[in-house]
Amino acid sequence: MFVIFGAAGKAGRVTAAALRRAGKPVRAVVRHARQGESLAALGCEIALADLTDAHSVAAAIKGAHAVQLLCPVPSGDTDPEATMRTTIDVATDALRENPPATLLAISDYGAELPLNTGITRLYHYLEKQLKPIATQLVLLRSAEHMQNWAAFLPGALANGALPSLHLPLERRFPTVAAQDVGAASAELLLESHQSGTPRIVSVEGPQRVSVNDIATALSIASGRTITPHALPRESWAPMLLKAGLSEKHGRLITDLYDVYNTGRIDVEASRSERRFGMTALSDVFGPLVAKFKSQ
């Protein structure tokens, strides 16, 4: 049995579908029953679980040969760091008690850094907690998701400006489509690989991009000129608060970009295998813009 946490998400759904196409039994773990309807149509067994509830997580992994673990940063949470650490602790306790043969965790570029990297330091904590578990551990470190730029779409389409915490605007950085993360995860789960040490794999898109490239891709997708705008450091926190994030959530983001913009968050070149997705910015932004315009 392949157990996929976060199966209703953009990456998890692709993983589950790929495993089913390969003829594997899949237990799709979702929070709400309605999220499992389309996954059940693929032939997945559906398990309902609250990732902060030890009993439901333990039940979800029972009998698993392989587990894909996804610990998302919770949205709309006044203290997302505390909630995510609880999620990680609950998951690792359950996996330590009942370890599968293979455990794949979706992590983040820069998770190896023992620094205050904001959101990414939570993935550093995740990796640290998972490494003692008696399993073949695969750490799939993902570059920034292209779909994250959807949050800026309403403003960009309304006023033609794309604000950015990535500085400078011309600096190229790794990014990846969520569906390519899911596809890479499925490939890794299907591979036969045994080692006494964690397997570290980094996944990013076909080419690195700059904010200027992102603005160009959005301009083409929307049919209007969108101009990138470098946000001054002092405006980051107010903008995030205005967008509805809590103060603590906003601090996780500003701490991340303070380090990201130094260039220190990247592939751990000395240890990491490399995977590259095939999805380009235009393949992601076209559907995003069309969906937004249809609303």
pLDDT at position 230 over 90:
yes
- Residue ranges and CATH numbers for the domains of the chain are 2-143+177-204+266-277 (3.40.50.720)
What does DSSP say about strands 136-142 and 26-30: parallel, antiparallel, or unpaired? unpaired
Q: How confident is the model at residue 260 (pLDDT cuts 50, 70, 90)?
A: very high
Instruction: Tell me if residue 134 falls in helix, strand or coil.
Output: coil
Q: Residue 292: pLDDT band by 50, 70, 90 thresholds?
A: confident
Q: What's the pLDDT tens digit per position in 183-218?
A: 999 999 999 778 889 999 999 999 999 999 999 999
- What is the token pair recorded at 162? 């794309």
Both tokens assigned to 271: 């240890």
Q: Does residue 10 surpass a pLDDT of 80?
A: yes
- Section 41-52 average pLDDT: 96
Give the model confidence (pLDDT) of 146-172 as tens digits.
Answer: 999 999 999 999 999 999 999 999 999
Give me the mean pLDDT over the 4-32 stretch. Answer: 97
**What is the C-alpha separation between 36 and 27, in angstroms, rounded?**
10
- pLDDT for 269 equals 84
Closest CA to 134 of 186, 185, 98, 89: 98
Two tokens at 180? 């390519």
Distance separating alpha carbons of residues 262 and 243, to the nearest angstrom: 25
* Token couple for 152: 């800026």
Q: How confident is the model at residue 63 (pLDDT cuts 50, 70, 90)?
A: very high
DSSP for 258-290, please give it: HHHTTT--S--TTT-EEEE----HHHHHHHHHH
Write out pLDDT tens, residues 122-146: 999 999 999 999 999 999 999 999 9
CB atoms within 10 A of CB 38: 15
> What is the pLDDT, as a whole number, of residue 295?
78
Q: What is the pLDDT of residue 158?
A: 93
